[in-house]
Structure 1
Amino acid sequence: MTSAQAQTQAVTPDFNAFAVRADFPILQQQVNGQPLVYLDNAATTQKPEAVIQAISDYYRTDNANVHRGVHTLSDRATHRFEQARERVAGFINSRDSREVIWTRGATEAINLVAYSWARQNLRPGDRILTPWLEHHADIVPWQMAAAACDAEVVPIPVSDAGEIDLAAFEALLDERVRLVAVNQVSNALGTINPVQQMTAMAHAAGALVLVDGAQAVGHFAVDVQALGCDFYTFSGHKLFGPTGIGVLWGREALLEAMPPFLGGGEMIETVSFSGTTYNQLPFKFEAGTPHIAGAVGLAAAIDYLDGIDRVAAAAHEDRLLAMALAQADAIDGLQRVGRPAHNAGIFSFVMQGSHPSDIGMLLDQQGIAVRTGHHCTQPLMERMGVPGTVRASFSMYNTEEDVERLFAGIHKAQALFG
């Protein structure tokens, strides 16, 4: 396929991938003498010029600490910081911005719940359920909390296709289960999990639900009220925003009952050596100077996405994935890992006679960025019977030409290693 053909296919009445791609400066470069093909979006997405400019403008004109200053710069910084919280609340359809807690990312958000909710509420013999699909960030914090409370973490079985076994999940739901922690989209296989259905099932059994939305928010709209979950987490850097900023959303009544995660400035009302009183929501969970520029950048990313037809963008990603899977199935010796019926833009595979890292390095020599390894999902890799995979993950700025170049690289790897 020529570049002209690819460009024609990437332009539809509702979506123009090349116009979107032009908004991302990093994608205009060459790597190892070849135009960059960036297919590591499940690890982190690239940033549009609007996000880069918003962060730069903040540091150039408004940089100051927030909330307690009485000078103009502090007022402006505080306004932008809290305006960003409001933007996030609207983006996920939170009932109140007080339910939006700033964190460093989804990992810290999950740890916050594991420390402030789980350690206060788990009792000996209680259970937390989490699928074999989960990222380590949605396993290890629960193990730590369970160990402290003499509780246990029980895996929810998944099928060979990489989908949660709902019948097995239902069988596990009993009076011992206090929490279900599940990702909305698997970072390793792309599986879109039925979290709304799972939440209803968990609630019927008396359990709370935390949804890790880190992989979901970059692909489709999220409505926490429609999902019905109790906690929702995501990271800015997988939503075309900056690193080091993330969100914990939680139901107000739950957050009010939870003790602070960290102590220090901002999270207090009064401090004395006779005792300390804590600040109101959301500030009691936000000790210290926050990542103000990160919040500003995340708001800019949401503003940017507001200008995109996300349904059309998702259809474009689905088309790229279908293209990739069709070509993959035609290659002898290439084994797809996971075949979920509903997939958010991830193609994960191994190839006979070659190590995933070798394939990744050979692709990089051709300017193609993919991820190799266990993707922080070692239990899932064990379940699927592989030590790791090559993972190509698509976003709205990828094109048909990117897919063609990926498979040209895979054919070269097969010729070399096969």
Structure 2
Amino acid sequence: MRSSLAYLCLLSFPLLATTAVNMQEKTLYASFLVLFNCVAMALFFLQFPLVGRLKGVGVFANINWSMFLHRRVGKWLAVIFLLHPVLILAPRFLVSFDTGMESLVAAVQARQLLTGIIAWLALLLWVLLAVLRDRLSMSYEVWRLTHVLGFVGIAALATLHVTTVGSHGQYETWFNGLWWSLFALSVGIVAYNYLVKPRALQAHPFTLVGVEPVSSRDWQLTIEQPAGADFDFEPGQFVWLNTDAAGAGKDHPFSIASSRASLPRLSFLIRGLGDFTRTLDQLQVGQQVYVDGPYGSISLADASRASAILLIAGGAGIGPLLSMVRGLAEQGDARPVRLIYGNGQLDQMVLQDEIATLETQMPDFRQQLACLQACDRAGVYQGVIDRSVIERTMGSQAPANWVVYLCGPEAMITAASASLKDIGVPRRNVHYEQLSF
């Protein structure tokens, strides 16, 4: 809630600034367009800090919220900007079709509008690249660099267009300074993440001490922090790992699976899904690994007043939830703790011997496996993680007494969240992390 309010305050700043600008007479519709476009530009510039890994800035510290908002706002921005020329030309077409066409041709031929036209076309292309990301035969690293640099270019063109053609820019020089300042801040965030931060990470590299398969599709990667490093985390958080040269644009987000007691070592459970994760067997023990983090706002502190804790993991989502289970075990937590762990098939379940040991050591911890593929093992729920298996696992405890943590694919989180709502678990008691950035 606080992040949302702070975000709205930042969004309103450019809008409020328009009230200080003296403009010539304009129609109500023209006034609406000016305000509408100012809000759209403010939303556009706020897209950069949302994905800027600014964990020291409160409003952007919750990276799950930030990424969700980045995607949601991005879709609306695409619609708004693509409608921009339509809204401007609409009154002309309402006069007559010929008048509208004359204005359209004049706009296309006007040299001063060239930056806006190029920005509009580039935006259309880059939005398509974002929407079709999973269908493109393009590595994640190349896609991300293309995405960032492309939108920096679009921001430059849009800012130039606003300050040379936009109504406010024609009347107040200081207002142009506001937009160029926002552009400079946006570029500064990108430069910090791609140029400045990597140098800091190079000064304190971690060391790879182990990489081994732990299921038919998953690997356990273990690294050790350098002596004297001041690294700490909360169970449920994640880091960006780079096994190449720091700053090469090849960092990937992975949740920490170990507990704080394992420091100075960190372990990760990684599923071989993408270009990088399919090459984990090529890593060499002893090589340097660069760590940016930790990030994420999921914390066991959210469950401090809960009577029971439910953890729901789908596939690779077991990592941060296993970190929580390990942390709870080390604290000797006596509350009911339940883990629902879903996968396509049984041989994809990781570290089952350790989890079985935790079941015997912890006062009230139980695991419920769920498999899409039928298996002979007793007690395994066949099917997706749905209301039936959730209710069965929670038992007689009142739904309102549970705090729930979810981690896994977006479809699983969406379905499980709906089931929890139907069961009666309050929305404020449900915390999640999606495996997509």
TM bracket, shorter-chain basis: under 0.3
Higher normalized helix content (fraction of residues): 2
Return the index of the structure with the highest Cα Rg: 2
Q: TM-score, normalised by structure 1?
A: 0.26
Work out which structure has the larger RCO, using CA pairs closer than 8 Å and 6 or more positions apart in sequence. 1
